[in-house]
Structure 1
């Protein structure tokens, strides 16, 4: 142990004797380790963002959209966007047993007016079950009811952004706002959900009963989409195919006639996107890892120079009885010390870069212990691996030749 500590001391002394050279040697390792940690943090941040953006739409969700799906995306032929009816949603609710909540949705942008204040926002026509599907809660007042749907009531539930812009500090519940110059009574304010992971303000919305929006606001007989929440993950595929069968019957699509709607399964979409982001993370990490290899070659270069420079010193040590193992250990410890110090500085550098990216780049980054440990042990391993050849070269030097060396 004493011998080992002495070797470490000699190694540190040798590094400090050539400060600039040691720093330049470590630079490859520092940049390599830092880049691996920062890149993986960015990749994992992207992955988490994708997952949370889909999760925020609700769990176990199927979304039915109008229009035929084609290989080139959604075909927008004249009537194809109007193929979903409110009755389709009611039929799904009634006939498909594992569809827990069903909410058809229509939406459009309108200017909302309160006195001399006005605000442009998205107005959504929904049914009461939208509250459960989107995991919303009302912080003040109440949500729309079945009675509001049946009577096409002019009532509205507003998000906190709309509330602040139209009412300031005042409680909006009970007040009347104007949408398309028609009066709507505010019956509730939604609990704030903040920004979605795609950067949209989820509180910038006005919710009205579906029937009111279709008949009084938009004058349409179709819905934009139908959200379906399934009882459990296991039933997703079964419910998806049942909805397809039911809608084909309702839309009189027989034989091999193409669907005029699509049923999207958010879970399978999430799995596909996760796979893509994992590949992205690995790709970023492996590009960064190349600089680690370059750093290792830098260590080998400098250790070779060091061996040549210290040929006489090696000769004297051998003449004084140092064995092959002693010399080998000495030089290996030196290259590992470079790897360790470079690795530690690199870890700090990588974490710093990742934090800076999330603070100034407006980019979410996820720092986990895995990549830190992996890249640090990699830097130590590289120091060891690339140090073997120079150390062996030093240990095999002939003491007589070494002492002669000028």
Structure 2
């Protein structure tokens, strides 16, 4: 009979055949080992048993593996088969090995993920939460998540995602939400209530233009100082701005979020500085306190953008025509910018719709969706949604089918991501490249994505 805390295999050959792990020439504890690593009268001694366990565990770590699960299995088996005072060294070896191998959580190309939280004797419960565990399929707000299993003071959970996924997660530790202390990748999440951690699967290549590049000239940011400019309006001018040149303009909703969380000025600096896109002016317009009402097909939204466009065209050297402007928005702002472009093709003929949240009344779009009204022939739509956005992904596919029937120019993409600023940050890079490509012959080499 196998003791409760003993390994569930008896030899390296058996481990190799069942788990696909290359194991160094170190065997597990002797058959005479008793419960939880205490040697029995049949032979052996406690110290020899513990040394064997350490060798067995470290042998697995040093041999390496392409799978996530066996590495955690090795740690858990070692913890169960050793004295509590030896646990810190075993856990430290596991963490160090994972950091050297690419960091935590542990991932592999099969899609398996191992989340690990190192608790203490007073830790009662740890729950895994994330944009892949929403309150409901109709709501992108994070739910209560799921409890993590516990071995000693190590809390762990296993899940499986697409090899190319990028997702947000955190731990609820005795009711307090925190980012993963072992993962240096963090970002702000509106649906996750603050700073959270970022899971990047091995098959996902992050957009390098979303990071600050050294030796890239920086543009400037200024706020429009007019009594009417409430909510706030900020204007980005590219480095080497030339008042004699006419620039295309991208306008965004939720301007503060596009600056702070998406990092639009940084992305523009990188893409313009590298020659990946042509120089662009960006106008980032904040939303008022009642953001939901502002984005619910509100005529005041359209009227305000009309005033902003008039001011920008008057005070900056712009391509002052609909095809010289792009209007972009995410989530509820996605539906607002789509509605504005449909209603005012004289202002905007190009629109970027990110994760459009179509919840709420649809009657302002009913005439378009039914075919009674047609989009202006000049309209071009760039649209994206994550496959972990539930009803938002379904809404996007409905809009895609409608645009197809209407014959509207469109570019639509789906990614294994959630309702996240991390997703929209990557979308920003893609939509800028789509709408503002550098004229042929002017493109420079770019750093690799990653």
Give the TM bin, normalised by the shorter chain. Answer: under 0.3
TM-score by length of 1: 0.24
TM-score by length of 2: 0.22
Greater C-alpha Rg = 1
